[in-house]
Copies of this chain bind each other. A is one copy, B any other.
Amino acid sequence: MKIKRSERLIDMTHYLLERPHDLVPLTYFAKRYGSAKSSISEDLAIVKHTFQERGIGIVETVPGVTGGARYIPYILKEEADEFINGMIDTLNSKNRFLPGGYIYMSDILGQPTLLNKIGRIIATQYLNKSIDAVLTVATRGVPLAEATASYLNVPLVIARHDSQITEGSTISVNYVSGFSKKVKKMTLSKRSLPEGANVLIIDDYLRGGGTIKGLESLINEFNCNLVGSSVFVEGTHTGQRKVEDYTSLLEMHIGEDEIKVTAGNYENRIFGIEE
């Protein structure tokens, strides 16, 4: 039985959404549905139009015999702004304040729909960059880093504070943690990053920048290239930051007896004309 266009469009949408950045050959779809390539081309044009119209992402079509289609996720500025404003309201609620100038946000960093939105916003900045891996350090940044890696469809690599026997040979670096001012160590399996890889750093929180700096030295030790660093929240910091070049979605202003959350530098960094 011949497969109807409506069925092809639904299945194609699911198939493309499941593998961001992967080039799916036209011939693959033609075989999957038993349809002529010309029909598939028409289908893809409709999918492309709708994805653009609805702010879902770009469907890049590559012409020719080896051609195909590739879905590149992004988010529109309006949708990102709306989401960030909602986050600001949520985080500014009084019952989130913890003693010592902290805000409870583990629940946010555990909600799949929020994580996916954050990941999609971060991925938008790098949609035209060549990225081979997303790097973070255990533990709190992991879900966020995974959501971002998922939209970029690249491996997630996790540095750890302890080194596990199940990781094989490792490389370690020392860094100064912003919270405790102590010298800490982070460790990464030698197998996890190939030489020359382009690496994006993701973390949940940046204060002094010590952790990001540590991840940067790890990237150097592996002879890899730093593409950028993005964090969910940056906190107030007195004195010089250890890193200057980063993107933040939110900013936390920690006062004497109150904390105020505002938008981070994402508007310029992700949607600005400067980038």
B-binding segment of A79-87, A157-165, A213-221, A222-230: A157-165
Q: How large is the interface on A (under 10, 10 to 19, 20 to 34, 35 or more residues)?
A: 35 or more
Contact present for B14 and A112 (CB under 8 Å): no
> Among B6, B56, B104, B143, which residue has its beta carbon within 8 angstroms of that of A9?
B6
Q: With A47-B10, A143-B156, A150-B116 in contact, is A165–B104 under 8 Å at CB? A: no
Contact residues, A7-45 vs B (CB, 8 A): 7, 9-11, 13-14, 17-19
Task: Provide the A138-154 mask, 1 if CB < 8 A to any CB of B, else 0.
Answer: 11101100110110011
A49, A116, A168 interface centre (most CB from chain B within 10 Å): A168
Say which residue of B56, B139, B143, B147 sits within 8 Å of A160 (CB atoms): B139
CA of A6 to CA of B43 in the docked complex: distance in angstroms? Answer: 9
Most B CB within 10 A of own CB, among A11, A46, A107, A166: A166
B156, A50: Cβ atoms closer than 8 Å: no
**Interchain CB contact under 8 A, B112 and A168:** no
In the complex, A172 has a CB within 8 A of chain B: no
Chain B residues with CB below 8 A from A153, complex form: 112-113
Q: Given A112-B146, A143-B156, A155-B111 in contact, is the A106-B10 Cβ separation under 8 Å?
A: no
Q: Please name all residues of chain B whose beta carbon is closer than 8 Å to the beta carbon of A116 when the two chains form the complex.
A: 18, 150
Offer 25 A-B interface pairs, CB within 8 angstroms, sorted by A.
Answer: A6-B6, A7-B46, A9-B10, A10-B46, A11-B56, A17-B17, A19-B113, A98-B166, A98-B168, A100-B165, A104-B166, A104-B168, A105-B166, A106-B192, A110-B156, A112-B149, A112-B150, A112-B154, A115-B146, A116-B150, A139-B158, A142-B143, A142-B146, A143-B156, A143-B158
